[in-house]
Structure formats: structure tokens, C-alpha cells
Structure 1
């Protein structure tokens, strides 16, 4: 294996979702400066789902015009669009336009839509491109995809985003009109004061643009560097999706090592008949459906449902708990990828067990968000420890599942990875769409105050 190829695959993967992830972590600095204020996260959720027209177009083209669309020119276009959009965002995110007598951040919303198209479309183009390299590099790509959330979060921490200082303020009461007491009464409480950042949002968005440039350079080198060329598969392997005879020839020319194949015995293979027509036919129809249902469920939880309630589940325990949970969860993603690199357990039973376990952690997080601003153990240090650990274990379990499913589908061929990206986006869309009315329309979740948590002990 080539270390250079591993590094390039990781940097390429970092560009997949770095723009939108960067938008989310920068919200505490952005929302006080725009007319939408904290309605912006709701708008972003809708915008990201609208951007699924990108992966929908790619998937339909692959379904009805197989072989007519090369993912490489598409990747050049979307990464270039990401570079331009993030750069423009640095200079126009504060600009507003008057519509219907009120101000709206039209440039910010339009550029966010373009970035959403870039990141959503990466799910159905970046993964199929990785088919051109040996299977070991797919796990490295997933590690880079995990870092696309971690790196902006760490930069935001250095920047000082969301750092709160609790300050005593006096609330004025009503004047006493009696002659013997004409003073003004007031009450004192703590108010959350957000500290100024070490550098501006403009600098942060320029940093995101630089990250997209790094992604583009990594992609160019993956296509043209001589050292990477030795790590590519034979062309017959890729044309196999359109020509079954050539695909079988390509697979025979590049037989996988035992550790790269699904862990099944010959007797188990006989018991699992009949085979499906999906990919190489390794899995039955029921198993293929199970894999895609798990993939959709996992992405619905990790990309849509739980992120929308993260602040509700953590802020009642304090600002420190919120930042620890967000940062450590971001670290858990690439850690899960590295674990999968050295311990790729492809058992579907084990996958089902991890799915249930991760869903239990997710249920606890959802329960604490529903109980906000007075969740369990809110006055105890154990409450902070439990909620942070739950977020870490939730992301760790489900990120491992996503990587293993990606590795499994990678062995099933180019078409399987295209459908993998489509199901990832579908699950994310369903998860985010289901939470939007609950959070933003009906207001079922109540935010906790990091400085004033008034709950019964």
C-alpha cells in the first residue's frame, strides 16, 4: 500500500462535507449578525434537503443511462463550485436583501444551497470514484469524511465559537408608589454572554475555501500521480457494471484476498441460496434489503434526527457539556473508521447488534432532549459524564456500521456504491425532514439555559 495514496484519499474525503459541517459549527457567530437569527438552522435543514436534486440526478442517470456519466468531470465541477461558493460566502454572508418589506440574508441562503448541492452530490460521486483504487483506501476515505466534521469543529474551538461567560444582571421591577418606599425593586440572575471570537467568520469561511482547494488538489493527484496509478484497478474491473462478461473477467484478474471477502464459509454460502442479482450475488435479496435499511436508518439518525436535538440534549448540563459532546463525537467518527480499517467485521448479525446498541444510545439522547431543560441528573456531574459518553458511543457504533457497509458494497461493484450514496442521502433527508416540524414548527423541544438551570432537585 502507498502512504501517499492513503493521505490523498483522506484529504479527498475531507472535502466531502467540510463546507456544510463548517456552516453548522459557525452558527453561534453568524446568527447574531443576520435577520433570520436562530431560525437559520431550520432554513439550512430545508435547503440541504432541496439540494438532494444533485444526487437524484446522478442516480437517475446511472439507472437509465448506465455508463454515460463519468463521475470525474462531475467531481471537478462540484469541488470547483465549492471553492467559489465558500470564498464568496466569506465576503457576502452579512449582506441582506429587502423582500416583502423585511430583510433576508439572500446571499447567505443561496450560497448555502450551492454548498449543499456540492456536499450532497459528493455522496454519489466520491464513493464510486474510490472504486478506481484498491479496497484498503476506501476505509481511509471514510476516515477523511469523518475528519470533515472534526477539523472545522477544532478550528471553531480555537476561534472561540460559542464560549459563554455567565454574568450577573439586575432585572428591574415595578416602582412602589407608596410614600414610604419609592425605590425601584429588582431581581438578580445570571445571563449568558457570548465571548468575542479570536478571528472573524470571514477568516473561517476562507479557511473552508482553502480546505476545498486541498480536496481538489488531492483529487487531481489521485487521477494523475504516478505513485497512485500503481494502486488503481484494471479498467476491466470498472467497465464490468455495463458488461457482465467483462466484469467477471475483471474480478478474476483481481481476486480479493481472504480478509477482503465477506466472512462466510462454503456451507453457509450453500444455505444462503438463492442469490440476488445485486452486484456479485454474494448476498441474498433479503440480506441486500437489510443492508440498505440499516444504512438508511443509521444515516437518518446520525445526519438528521440526533444533530437537530444535540443542543437540547446537552445545554441543560452546561456549555462545557455541549462543547465536549460535539467535539468528542466528531473525534469518534474517524476513530471508528480506523477501527474498521484494522477490524473489519462484516457479519450481518454483528451489524444488527451494533445498530440496536447505537439506536439505544440515540434513544437516551432523544429522551434527554425531550426532557430539556430538566433532563435526568441535570444537577449532577454524572449527568454531564453520561450525556457526553452517550454521544461518543452513539457516533462510534453507527459510524463503524457506515464504514463496514461501504466496504461491503464496494466489493459488490460500482453500481452498489452509487446506490450506497443515494441511500445515504435518502436516509439523511427523511431524518432531517421528520425532525424539522417537531423542532421548528411545533416547538416540542425546549432549550436549556447554560447559566440558569432551574429544575427541582
Structure 2
């Protein structure tokens, strides 16, 4: 039964971000067929930040009206929306409408906004739901969350998204006296995909159905329910068997609140989440590190991944993306078998991850002529930097999640809110730098015109 519960927790975690991660990896197939072209990633960034209205609403309801919002009902709702939106994308992603005199992919943008809302809201609902289960299943959930990027990436790899072949192309140059010369130049040629974007969106819809099935079994399977901490779950009040609040106990404060209304009215409060284990400076450290790690891994560095890798060749780009996606669940496995809650270790790993991220950012800034561009060592270093960057900061994020899980349901709600806040600030910082001011220059995976 423990194996079944671990499997269901992992599948439940995969559904948290699989939809938006799938959208990102499918961009090379989508972009040529829509009027927005390569401006679409910029629009996606804005839509994802607008979708933070979902977690903001849940967090404010939890803070000011604890117990009024049924967590289980919210999860059912967002998973259902994710299933419907990804299914409709398969049919309408190419459809356009004329808006203000220009053709726009309205259906694609609207449905992507709904998927973004689903995934962003999962940060403040899926994690607190895992409080129902015993502590060991939290790490399994994080493994699933890591796989939410790896699984669609592997499917896109099989599909052949973005696979480039360098071919010789004859270029004709006209002279000033009517004569012309021909020269051979390597040009990138994108190979056709094994299956269409429509099939890929059907796959995303199926993954959301699997997430719904895992959630149902985690709630109602009789053997899995034995793995629950208790059949009565505290979330701003006492829940019955279906997760609904008992009306007469609706006003009770939640168990081990991180920030509770009752505490805010007392002049002298314990400087802790409620368990007396951590001081407020330690709590602040955890949240700052959590926000910083998510800003780097979810927004800042992904925005410049192509700039940092493509100058070294298409293989370097695909290897960094694939191995980086593998590093996330690997970090979760390490956290499962070698957990360490030392604040010193978390700080050192955060500094190490930031150092690797700084190297990646430097190569992106120097694109299209970064370090060691004419040497295989350069490609090897950028791939290693991406793997170690994701590995170190993913371990930090998982261990902070485990620490906050022990502090109660409210701590996990705020954990999800900080995750979204860090990601949002990172995205809002990078959007003008990449899309407005154009500070980064793309490299050519087939032709490098840099001095040796």
C-alpha cells in the first residue's frame, strides 16, 4: 500500500505543472503556424503572471476567511479546467480571429491562460492537500512535480520537436557590374515531427486525466486512506470524510498556523510557525531562499536558456534541456534518501546554485560568442552548469518544502504563495530585458562567426 500511495502521489505531482511545461516544449512546432510567431513566448510569460490571480485568491481566502474555501473542491475544479482546456487546444490552437485589424490566436491565448491558472493555483492547493498523508509522501510529490517537466520533454524529444540538421545551401551574391558569385553556407533545417501538435495536446489532456484519477484514489481508495495521518483533516476547522468543514467547528483556528488571525491580535507571540522550533529570522531565511531559488529556476535562467546553449550547437541545447529536466527528479530522490535540514547546507547549496546560474547568465550575455565556443569543452561546461544548477536548487526547494510541511497546513499555503511570488518577480524582471530591450542576441547552431 505504501508503494501504491507513493505512485499516486507522484502522478498527482506530475499534474501540477505538466500543462504549461508541455506548452513550452511544443513552441518550435506551434510558432510557425500562428501569427504571433516567436513573440508567443513573451505573451506566455505575461499570461502566466496574470494567472497568479488564482493563487492570490486562494491565499487571501485562507488568510482572512480560514475554512470558507473547500480545498478539495478547488482541486477538483482546477484539474477539470486543465483537462478541458488542454483537450480544446488540440482542436483550436491554430484558429485565429481579427482583433484591432490584426490576426490573433485568441483561442490559443485564452486556453493557455486557463492552463496557467490551473498550474499556478496548484502551488497553493496541491501542497497543502499532501498534509493529509504521512510525511514521506511529500518528497514523492516533489518527484512528480519534477517529472512534470521531464515527461512532456521526453515526449517532445520522441516527437522530434526542434531537431535541426545543418545542410549546405547555395547563396548567390550579385556584384556591382551585374556579375554574381555563388557560395556554400550551412543553414539550419528543422526536421518534420513524428506526430502533430494536436496529438501532443491530447497527450497533455490524458496526463491531466491521470492526475484526476490519482487524486480520486488518494481521497477514496480504502487502502490508501490508511496512509492518511487521520480521517479527520484540519484546514481552518475539522473536515468530515469528504473534506468538507463541519459547520459548528468552522470558526476554529487551523492546526499549527504560520500566520493566524488569533496570533496577530496578541502583543507577545511565539517567534515561530506555531511549533516553537524556528525563530522568525530562520523563517525569513527559508522564505527568501525559497523565493530566490524559484525565481532562478522557474523564470530567470529558463528565459535565457537558448541564448546560453545554442552558440555551442543544437546538441548542447537539447542535452542541457533534457539533462536539466532529469536533474530535478534526481534531486528529489536524493532528498528522499539523504535528507538534510541544516540551514548551513541549504545556504551553501543556494550559493552554489547561484554560482552555476551566474555562469549560465554570463554565457547568455556573451552570446553569440561566449566562452570556449570553438571547443567541445565549452559545450560540456554549459551542459554541466545547467545540470548542477537545477540539481542544487531543486534539492533546496524540496528540503524547504519538507521543513514547512512539518509546520502545518498554513505553512504550505504560504510556501506555495512564495513559490509563485518568486517566479513572478523573476519573470517580470526578465521580460523587458529579453523581449523589450533585446539585450540578448541569438547564436546560430550551424554557423559560428566568432574570433578564435
Q: Establish whether TM, by shorter chain, passes 0.5.
A: yes
- 1:349 maps to 344
Separation in 1, partners of 2:320, 2:221: 39
SS of equivalent to 2:185: strand
CA RMSD of aligned residues (A): 1.4
SS of equivalent to 1:238: coil
- 1:429 maps to 424
- 1:73 maps to 73
Q: Which runs of 5+ in 1 are unaligned?
A: 249-273
* Correspondences of 1:56-205 after superposition (within 5 Å): 56-177=56-177, 183-205=179-201
Alpha-carbon displacement from aligned partner over 1:115-170 (angstroms, at most 9, x marks no partner): 00000000000000000000000000000000000000000000000100111222
Separation in 2, partners of 1:318, 1:289: 41
79 and 188 in structure 1: CA distance in 2 versus 1, 3 angstrom threshold: same
* Correspondences of 1:33-432 after superposition (within 5 Å): 33-177=33-177, 183-234=179-230, 238-239=234-235, 243=252, 247=255, 275-432=270-427
Report how many residues are paired: 427
Per mean C-alpha deviation after superposition, the further-off stretch among 206-215 and 97-106 is: 97-106
- 2:259 maps to none
Separation in 2, partners of 1:238, 1:343: 29
Residue 409 of structure 1: how far off its partner (Å)? 0.3
- 1:13 maps to 13
Separation in 2, partners of 1:387, 1:321: 8
Residues 236 and 247 in structure 1, CA contact (< 8 A), matched pair in contact too = no
Q: Calculate the TM-score normalised by the size of structure 2.
A: 0.92
Residues 120 and 420 in structure 2, CA contact (< 8 A), matched pair in contact too = yes
Separation in 1, partners of 2:9, 2:272: 30
- 1:260 maps to none
Residue 95 of structure 1: how far off its partner (Å)? 0.7
Residue 198 of structure 1: how far off its partner (Å)? 0.4
Per mean C-alpha deviation after superposition, the further-off stretch among 279-288 and 51-60 is: 279-288
Q: Calculate the TM-score normalised by the size of structure 1.
A: 0.91
Separation in 2, partners of 1:398, 1:361: 10
Separation in 2, partners of 1:343, 1:174: 66
Separation in 2, partners of 1:309, 1:281: 42
SS of equivalent to 1:427: helix
Residue 328 of structure 1: how far off its partner (Å)? 0.2
Residue 239 of structure 1: how far off its partner (Å)? 4.8
Alpha-carbon displacement from aligned partner over 1:157-184 (angstroms, at most 9, x marks no partner): 000001001112222222453xxxx542
Alpha-carbon displacement from aligned partner over 1:296-323 (angstroms, at most 9, x marks no partner): 0000000010000000000000000000
Residues 175 and 185 in structure 1, CA contact (< 8 A), matched pair in contact too = yes
Separation in 1, partners of 2:88, 2:252: 44
Separation in 1, partners of 2:235, 2:293: 31
Residue 233 of structure 1: how far off its partner (Å)? 1.3
User: Which runs of 4 or more aligned residues in structure 1 lie more than 6 Å from their structure 2 counterparts after TM superposition?
Assistant: none
- 1:262 maps to none
Separation in 2, partners of 1:16, 1:279: 28
Separation in 1, partners of 2:220, 2:139: 21
Residue 276 of structure 1: how far off its partner (Å)? 1.4
Residue 235 of structure 1: how far off its partner (Å)? 5.0
SS of equivalent to 1:186: strand
SS of equivalent to 2:69: coil
207 and 166 in structure 1: CA distance in 2 versus 1, 3 angstrom threshold: same
SS of equivalent to 2:383: helix
Residue 102 of structure 1: how far off its partner (Å)? 1.4
